[in-house]
Structure formats: structure tokens, C-alpha cells
Structure 1
């Protein structure tokens, strides 16, 4: 009731969880088999795609990561964990990123990884995140991002279908795209197409949790995209250079 600008997403969620409920896991078995056959480690992917070694990230940012871990432990609301931080960071380093867009923030781990690279070039991270409506969780989105990095961060607090047009109105072309929001097949296919249009040639596209359904595989095959699949903590991440 307090956020009428979120009503369109409420309507979409009702349809997604009733009429289109079966689409959430469409093609899951097919894609998990496909992903397992080609999966490599995060380290291998960074070396193969970017020609970089990932050994220095944890040591160079030891203090920042330790502070973020402490913030996560203190947070009264439980959200998603860190994910493949090195993949995101080195994608930004490889592209000398000035502008990055991500969907899905939660604690802000992926945001932190992008910002640690972007701040070197005074770049901007544009983030789309659907507000948390329960447990007063909205105020904790991006909780692990330190204050000194927030001047390089623009956070749009809407669902992707409202956030992304606002982001693209602010900036048109991006160096790195990181998708980690709507997990449904239809939601992914819509967002992948929109994001891909705004990725520069030579830019990096990353999508988390591609094993949930076949949207990522189908999108890559439809657009003749050569992709790498990363296995990380039992899940699959898709990544390619445009």
C-alpha cells in the first residue's frame, strides 16, 4: 500500500505464481546436463576469458571483505550469500569498466565486487533491486557496501521491468552486465534481451543460477553466443564476452 509504483510487479507475480507457474523451471533438466558437460572453475574461466590470474583479489581486499563478512553477520535479515566475486571483479578489470549494471543486490556482495574495480576509474554501478516487503528488510539492501564506495553507486528500487528502463534512460551502453534477479524463465528471457542490447562489443555478460531453467541456454543458442559455464558452490553461472 505504501509503494503503488510496485503494483505492476505485484500483478506480474500473481500471474507468474498461478497461470505461468510451470515456466519457472522450464527446461531445467536439459540445461543442468548441458551445463555439467562444459562447466569449469571460476579460476579457469577468468584465465580463459580475460587472460588474468585471480590470486590477488582476496589478499588485496582482505580488509574490505572481512568488514563485509562482519556486516553480514550483524544483519538481522538473511539474504543471499557472496557468490563468485572474483568473476565479477575481474570482468570489470578486463573491460576497464566505467559503467556496470546489475540486477539483484541483497546484501550487496556483487555490488561490492564491481565497485572495488569501478572506483579506480571513478566509474558507476547501476543496480536494480526489488524492495524486500517483509521483516523490514528493505533498509538492509546493500548492507555490506561501505560508505566510501556509495558515491559510485546508483540504486534503483523497483522490479527490473521498471528499473531497467530508468537505468537505460540514465546511461545507454555498459561494459559489464550481471544478472541475478527474477529466476523465472520468462523473466530471464525478457531481461537477457534488454540487457544484451545495452552491452558494448567486448563487454562481459554474467548470469547467476542458470541451472534453474533453460532460459540462459536457449538465449545463447538463439543468438549464436559462445558461452563459458562456471560451476561455483554447486550452482552454474553463465559468462561470455559480446
Structure 2
């Protein structure tokens, strides 16, 4: 048998393995949804999105990445401009806590999103002297940790929305890096945003800081942005991760006539503004 035929068979077997693995993940996720009636609304939306809807989750991606690149600044500069604060103290003040969180993430048996612009999130809470903070998307809990380190000083509350990690059996690991002593300031809602947010809004009507890091589709972002923006206090800080995925953030800011700052962090773009 020729080397060419051997290589072709290897490629064929690799492709078949990947297809089987992907199908197994899809089936496992579907079964996990079926076992959780509270998640049926999100399951229905996903079925419609993947079989009927023709909406592109990447609408305007090229436009927004060009725009973001033209105005992006570092996290340090953004914190100085917006909040008149210096980011240098954060890592020194919380060195032990951050070191323990890094070690705990390394021990986690499943993979989720890593730390983002923690200083930006922390100093947004410090700037507003936040009492009530809302975030969508938790994963390991890095952004939650940054928020809670600030909120503990004022006995504030973080309200978080995050879907279970169904395909990975990762329910127990959401918020994994958050220390036990900070969890008394935290209320975690384990549904899709369209179910979590109405539940949260019944408990609190306005927020000092908002951090978005959940549904990355154009229409998912637009829905959440509008729901939350009207519940932010004047002077509140709005932060959205990964705005380069599509043009939702840029279009939202243009529609609301918002003068936004864009932060470049780890090769991605974050949008942030103070509500006037």
C-alpha cells in the first residue's frame, strides 16, 4: 500500500472520529436539556435557530472589527480615562486570592472561559461604589470574582445569569474560582438570559454596573443590551466582552448616541461606557 493511500485512510478515520464525537456531544446536550424542564424555552429557541432561522450571528463583524481597531486603547488607559484610577494596585492587593483562583482553575476537570479584563470590571465597581451589579455569563467565575472583591466592601449583591454547561457535565464548576466567603454577596441564576433576567428584575430594579459575556449572537446581544440599558442608573457602567463577534455593540451605541470606549485585551475587543 502506498504512503498516499495510508495518509488518506488516516485523514478519513480522523474525519469520521470528529463527526462521531460531534454527534455524541450534540446528543448528550439534547438529552441534558430534556432532563431540565426549566431549560425547555432555550431548547426551543436553539432548535429554531439551527433549523429555521437564517439570521447570521456574525452580522457586521468585519465592520465592527475595523472600527474597534481604529479606536481601541489598553485596559490601563481606559480605567484612567473613565474612572481616574490606576490599575496597578489590583494585582498587588489581591495577589493571594488571584493565585489561589489560578490554582483552582488548573485543577478543574472541564474547560471554560479564562480571565478577562478583571481590572476594568473591578474598577467599574469601585468607581460607581456599586451596590447592585448584573452580569451575564459566569464560566469559572473570574469576572464574578473581580466584582465580588469590590462588592464585599459595601455589602452589595452580584446577580449573575449563566446557562449550565450541559455537554460537559459542568454544572458544579460554574463559579469555581469564587471563594466561599464571597458567595454570600452573590445570587446565581442558572437559566438562559431570557429566563434569568426577568427573574432578576423582579428582585432588583436598577444596577450600578453591568457586564455582558453570554449569548454572542447579534440578536441575542441586542435583546439583552436593550433590556439592561434601561435598568442602569445614570452614572452606571456598561461593559460588553467580545464586541468584535458582530456589530451589535457598535450598532447599539450608534442608535443610543453613546460615546463608547473600546478596550483591546488578549486580541479581542471590549466595549465600555458610562451611562449619562
Instruction: Give the TM-score of the pair, scaled to structure 1.
Output: 0.98
Note the 1:114-129 alignment, pairs <5 A: 114-129=147-162
Aligned equivalent of 1:46, options 79, 83, 97: 79
Aligned equivalent of 1:35, options 65, 68, 76: 68
Q: Does 1:194 align with 2:223?
A: no
User: Which residue is 1:227 aligned to?
Assistant: 260
What secondary structure, in the 3-state scheme, does the structure 2 residue paired with 1:134 have? helix
1:134 deviation in Å? 1.9
Matched residues in 2 for 1:77 and 1:17: separation?
A: 26
User: Which residue is 1:172 aligned to?
Assistant: 205
1:14 deviation in Å? 1.8
Moved over 6 A (4+): none
What secondary structure, in the 3-state scheme, does the structure 1 residue paired with 2:257 have? coil
1:20 deviation in Å? 3.4
1:241 deviation in Å? 0.1
Note the 1:25-174 alignment, pairs <5 A: 25-174=58-207
Taking only aligned residues, the RMSD between alpha carbons, in angstroms, comes to 0.8
What secondary structure, in the 3-state scheme, does the structure 1 residue paired with 2:104 have? helix
> Which segments of 5 or more consecutive residues in structure 1 lack a partner in the other structure?
none
1:136 deviation in Å? 1.4
Equivalent pairs, count: 242
Q: Which has the larger radius of gyration?
A: 2
What secondary structure, in the 3-state scheme, does the structure 2 residue paired with 1:161 have? helix
User: Which residue is 2:269 aligned to?
Assistant: 236
User: Which residue is 2:43 aligned to?
Assistant: 10
1:132 deviation in Å? 1.0
Please list the CA deviations of residues 19-57 of structure 1 after superposition, one character each: whole Å capped at 9, or x if unmatched.
335421000000000100000000000000001111100
What secondary structure, in the 3-state scheme, does the structure 2 residue paired with 1:201 have? strand
